Chain A
Amino acid sequence: EADIYQTPRYLVIGTGKKITLECSQTMGHDKMYWYQQDPGMELHLIHYSYGVNSTEKGDLSSESTVSRIRTEHFPLTLESARPSHTSQYLCASSRTEFEKLFFGSGTQLSVL
């Protein structure tokens, strides 16, 4: 059973607000990822980390930023949210990049 948690589950905010989406895992995984998914569409990698103090941008350009100060924690921040940021954000982790990927339940973000 995967132990990876995302909060909040749902978030509705106004344009211009700063938000942080939380992601934590208790499995000791070094590899962590953030994906963005629009309804009915494929997942796009927006950020990943291979360990503490290591972060990289993914394949899809995103205005969000991430940090990895602790192994278990990989938060995503939007400094100024816009309606175009409305989407589902999924956090995932794995022991290595070649093993099973475990996902959190996701955060559904709506920016009005």
Chain B
Amino acid sequence: KQEVTQIPAALSVPEGENLVLNCSFTDSAIYNLQWFRQDPGKGLTSLLLIQSSQREQTSGRLNASLDKSSGRSTLYIAASQPGDSATYLCAVTKQGAQKLVFGQGTRLTINP
């Protein structure tokens, strides 16, 4: 069974810092990995999608990496801003299952 773990569960940093969020998964047989952002009481917004053949994806101040063999992904946020405060979730699409398995998320707070 595919399990997805995100550490830490919560993170608080001052504005302007660069930070890294971590995601690990137990089964390396995946099609892709997605990072999402969720604001309180809202739905999820897809930030980045990395196919299993890719090593990283970038969008603005966000960079996501994927190391399939070790079952790890990181989301790097550069020059953090208070508007980045949200819960960040990663999810993998397991081969053969064709459905996403989500981690519990990291709740990020950027302090002005």
Q: Which residues does A use to contact B, with CB under 8 Å?
A: 2, 6, 33, 40-43, 45, 48, 58-59, 88, 90, 92, 97-106, 108
A103 to B34, CA, bound (A): 13
**What separation, in Å, do the CA atoms of A75 and B56 have in the docked complex?**
36
The reply to whether B93 and A97 contact each other, CB–CB distance below 8 Å, is yes
Measured CB to CB, the nearest residue on chain A to B51 is: A98
The answer for the CA separation of A96 and B60 in the assembled complex, in Å, is 25
Least distance between B51 CB and chain A CB atoms (Å): 8
Q: Which residues of A contact B102 (CB under 8 A)?
A: 42-43
Residues of B within 8 A of A (CB): 4, 31-32, 34, 36, 41-46, 49, 51, 89, 91, 93, 98-100, 102-105
Question: Are B41 and A98 in contact (CB-based, < 8 A)?
Answer: no
In the complex, which residues of chain B have a beta carbon less than 8 angstroms from the beta carbon of A108? Answer: 41
Count A/B pairs, Cβ under 8 Å: 56
The 5 closest A-B pairs by CB, nearest first: A103-B43, A97-B98, A103-B44, A42-B104, A43-B102
Nearest CB in chain A to that of B48: its residue: A100
The listed residue (B44, B98, B103) touching A90 by CB distance below 8 A is: B44
With beta carbons under 8 angstroms apart, the residue of A2, A58, A102, A104 that contacts B99 is A58
B49 to A45, Cβ gap below 8 A? no
A104 touches B43 (CB 8 A): yes
Known interface pairs A48-B99, A106-B43. Does A99 touch B49 (Cβ–Cβ under 8 Å)? yes
> In the complex, what distance in Å separates the CA atom of A102 from the CA atom of B44?
7
B4, B36, B41: most-surrounded residue (chain A CB, <10 A): B41
A41 touches B32 (CB 8 A): no
